[in-house]
């Protein structure tokens, strides 16, 4: 994939478009997790437009790469990304969280093409991803598994069960990307149940650890390359991100975990996301 | 006390389970066993020896056990998760609900040593809530076979069913109960003995006790129908309604809490369609005292005599056919 990766500038344009549509969608639906979605938007863009071997025309191809969004509350930005990538009709985004829509507040693999597993309760994605990577090993297939978790959700013990297993099974076809935006629903992670020293924890659990700037496409791809070239153990990429990234007044503000903007706030946010940075 | 099962050999259904798993694995390379340090208690030693790479042991970590199984299924494998029923269901219930049932992954959950099979080890190891927990989860088949042959067929049926199944297995010795030529199907009950005075419905380890109870009742001229209802969800409603219509009274017996299990499930059907007097036998809403499974079942009124006594009491409450 390396040689055919789009430029950072091109991806930044896609990311801006996705943030804009995500903002619109949450404003229209009157619900969603804006802050959590803006923090992982660039990571999703890098995955879907520069890394994952997936095909919207054959979303269940047996040897596709698997991507698991463990922080299922960021479903909105996943749907916008899947629409941008051709998995679902962009017009359908208008139905987000509306009665009868398949675009639930948390993703359902049975209904939405491109969704690999149902998430919502936290701490579910990593164990499932470990199973996927183990399946590829058992089958002798070369597809890879990518899983994106939040940081707060690492307080769930199931992650650490899975972390041990992934290292024990030597799953070098598995990469975990942690959207380390430092905030959970109610407060800073550090003030709730601190994860620090996070990098040391993953190293101690037998993972190859790499840290990167989760809003810098070149840095993200460098991290993906680290994951691809690591042998004998899984890779954990700690992506340093900002909750609410892309809108000045939501950035690093815990209140925006799942707040819906007022009309005034919406107008300002829309204007910020429309300006093309020089 | 139950009558001495003279001449009846008792079988540990885990043997039939493990043998069938290996037969299936011979022809289906996608079939794998996934366990939580439970190779011995799931009788997977021979499987492990034959296919060491297809025995995925995740250690003592049930949330990861079930989550991984969902991922293994997504990746094209056919995982049979083998773990003590108490830990599999209680510890990983949210993974069973979300990763397996809601996501509709092709995972087979095999709860070994269910009920009070661990006897004297106590209520921490008893699994007498699992019917209640699993049967309320949408898209999950719940099956408790009664003997080795039914276990063999249930394992095959689970493998063929394209979706989540919970197989509830025991280690307590049971005699053969299903007839020669029996064909198991998920959701179909088996009438083992006909009768028109009342119906005894049981599954798993209670089926042979219900048959013995019917034998005792027959000595008093009471003709009890005996139904093996191996599938708790989806229930064989037609067989239940045949029992209400044709026999007018139902006693249920299960190695499970009396709340929320097989009896409750049957009562939901009965009350909604054709109310008749019922007596539900099971663990009476307590954490069981120290004792073997057999001793506890007797103590909770589920010896053959105990079931027969409940049947007689119920008959006294049964309404004449003309008024039903």
**What fold is seen in the domain B13-168?**
Rossmann fold (3.40.50)
Answer whether A96's CB lies under 8 Å from A103's CB.
yes
A96-117: per-residue pLDDT in tens? 999 999 999 999 999 999 999 9
Residues of chain A in contact with residue B67, where contact means CB-CB under 8 angstroms, are 124, 126-128, 130-131, 158, 162
Number of domains chain A contains: 1
- Mean pLDDT of the region A142-167: 98
Cα–Cα distance for residue pair B52/B243, rounded to 1 Å: 48
Q: Is the pLDDT of residue A278 over 90?
A: no
As averages over each run of 10 residues, the pLDDT of chain B (324 residues) reads 63 97 98 96 96 98 98 98 97 98 98 96 97 98 98 98 97 96 98 98 98 98 98 98 98 98 98 97 98 98 98 91 66
Range of the domain at A267: 2-274
Length of chain A: 278
Percent of chain A whose predicted confidence (pLDDT) is above 70: 98
Q: Is the pLDDT of residue A143 over 80?
A: yes
Q: Are A119 and B59 inside 8 Å of each other by CB?
A: no
Predicted local confidence at residue B178, as pLDDT? 98
| Residue A60 to chain B, least CA–CA distance (Å) | 10
**DSSP summary character for residue B240:** H
> For chain A, what is the mean pLDDT?
96
Residue limits of CATH 3.40.50.920 in chain B: 190-319
| Residue A229 to chain B, least CA–CA distance (Å) | 22
Nearest one of B92, B127, B129 to B109, comparing CA atoms: B92
Answer whether A123's CB lies under 8 Å from A163's CB.
no
Token pair, residue A55, equals: 């095909």
* HSE value, Cβ hemisphere, 13 Å, CA-based, for B297: 28
Q: Which of A116, A138, A165 sits opposite B58 (nearest CB)?
A: A165
Which residue in B has a C-alpha nearest to residue A68's C-alpha?
Answer: B71
Predicted local confidence at residue A258, as pLDDT? 87
Q: Give the contacts of A210 (CB within 8 A, at least 6 positions apart).
A: A223, A226, A227, A235, A236, A237, A238
A201-250: per-residue pLDDT in tens? 999 999 999 999 999 999 999 999 999 999 999 999 999 999 999 999 99
Q: Which of B63, B73, B76 sits opposite A158 (nearest CB)?
A: B63
Residues of chain B in contact with residue A136, where contact means CB-CB under 8 angstroms, are 75
Predicted local confidence at residue A189, as pLDDT? 95
A6-30: per-residue pLDDT in tens? 999 999 999 999 999 999 999 999 9
Q: Are A120 and B98 inside 8 Å of each other by CB?
A: yes
| Residue B72 to chain A, least CA–CA distance (Å) | 4
CATH number, domain at A254? 3.40.50.970
Q: How confident is the model at residue A76 (pLDDT cuts 50, 70, 90)?
A: very high
Residues of chain A in contact with residue B75, where contact means CB-CB under 8 angstroms, are 66, 131-136, 138-139
Nearest one of A32, A19, A14 to A84, comparing CA atoms: A14
Predicted local confidence at residue B282, as pLDDT? 98
Q: Which of B68, B94, B104 sits opposite A131 (nearest CB)?
A: B68
Predicted local confidence at residue B218, as pLDDT? 98
The torsion angles phi and psi of B26, rounded to 5 degrees, stand at -60, -40
Answer whether A143's CB lies under 8 Å from A174's CB.
no
Q: How confident is the model at residue A81 (pLDDT cuts 50, 70, 90)?
A: very high
Nearest one of B163, B159, B199 to B70, comparing CA atoms: B163
Residue limits of CATH 3.40.50.970 in chain B: 13-168
At the top level of CATH, the class of B190-319 is: alpha beta
Residue corresponding to tokens 């890779």: A235
Complex ipTM value: 0.96
Q: Tell me which of B51, B53, B68 to substitute to probe the interface with A (most A C-beta atoms closer than 10 Å).
A: B68
Nearest one of B88, B42, B50 to B69, comparing CA atoms: B88
């Amino acid at each position: 994939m390396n040689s055919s990766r789009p430029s950072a500038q091109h991806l930044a344009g896609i990311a801006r478009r996705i943030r804009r549509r995500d903002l619109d969608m949450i404003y229209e639906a009157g619900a969603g997790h804006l802050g959590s979605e803006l923090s992982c938007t660039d990571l999703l863009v890098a995955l879907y437009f520069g890394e994952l071997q997936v095909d919207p025309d054959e979303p269940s191809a047996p040897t596709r790469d698997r991507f698991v969004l463990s922080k299922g509350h960021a479903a909105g930005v996943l749907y916008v990304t899947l629409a941008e990538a051709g998995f679902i009709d962009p017009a359908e985004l208008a139905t987000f969280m509306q009665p009868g829509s398949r675009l639930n507040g948390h993703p359902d693999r049975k209904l939405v093409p491109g969704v690999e597993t149902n998430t919502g309760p936290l701490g579910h994605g990593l164990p499932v991803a470990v199973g996927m990577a183990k399946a590829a090993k058992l089958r002798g297939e070369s597809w890879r598994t990518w899983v994106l978790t939040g940081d707060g959700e690492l307080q769930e013990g199931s992650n650490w069960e899975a972390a041990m297993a992934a290292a024990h099974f030597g799953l070098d076809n598995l990469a975990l990307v942690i959207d380390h935006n430092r905030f959970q629903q109610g407060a800073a992670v550090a003030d709730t149940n601190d994860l620090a020293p996070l990098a040391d924890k993953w190293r101690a659990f037998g993972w190859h650890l790499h840290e990167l700037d989760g809003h810098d496409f070149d840095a993200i791809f460098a991290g993906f390359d680290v994951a691809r070239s690591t042998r004998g153990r899984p890779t954990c990429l700690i992506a340093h991100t900002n909750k609410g990234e892309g809108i000045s007044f939501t950035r690093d503000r815990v209140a925006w975990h799942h707040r819906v903007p007022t009309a005034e706030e919406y107008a300002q946010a829309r204007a910020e996301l429309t300006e093309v940075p020089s | 006390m139950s009558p001495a099962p003279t001449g009846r050999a008792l079988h540990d259904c885990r043997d039939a389970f493990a043998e069938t798993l290996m037969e299936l694995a011979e022809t289906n390379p996608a079939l794998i066993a996934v366990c939580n340090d439970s190779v011995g208690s799931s009788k997977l030693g021979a499987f492990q020896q034959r296919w060491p790479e297809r025995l995925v042991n995740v250690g003592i970590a049930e949330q990861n056990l079930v989550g991984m199984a969902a991922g293994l299924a997504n990746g094209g494998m056919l995982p049979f998760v083998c773990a003590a029923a108490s830990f599999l269901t209680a510890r990983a219930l949210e993974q069973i609900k979300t990763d397996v049932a809601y996501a509709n992954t092709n995972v087979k959950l095999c709860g070994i040593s269910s009920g009070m099979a661990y006897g004297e080890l106590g209520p921490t190891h008893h699994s007498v809530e699992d019917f209640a927990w699993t049967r309320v989860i949408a898209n999950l088949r719940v099956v408790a076979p009664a003997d080795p042959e039914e276990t063999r067929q249930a394992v095959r049926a689970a493998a063929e069913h394209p979706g989540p199944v919970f197989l509830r297995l025991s280690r307590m010795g049971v005699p053969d109960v299903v007839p020669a030529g029996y064909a198991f199907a998920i959701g179909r009950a088996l009438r083992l003995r006909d009768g028109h005075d009342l119906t005894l419905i049981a599954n798993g380890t209670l089926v042979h006790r219900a048959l013995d109870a019917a034998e005792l009742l027959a000595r008093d001229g009471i003709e009890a129908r005996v139904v093996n209802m191996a599938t708790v969800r989806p229930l064989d409603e037609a067989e239940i309604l045949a029992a209400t219509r044709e026999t007018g009274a139902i006693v249920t017996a299960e190695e499970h809490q009396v709340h929320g299990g097989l009896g409750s499930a049957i009562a939901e059907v009965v009350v909604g369609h054709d109310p008749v007097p019922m007596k539900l036998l099971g663990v009476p809403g307590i954490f069981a005292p120290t004792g073997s499974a057999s001793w506890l079942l007797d103590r909770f009124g589920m010896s053959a005599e105990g079931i027969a006594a409940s049947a007689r009491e119920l008959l006294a409450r049964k309404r004449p056919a003309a008024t039903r």
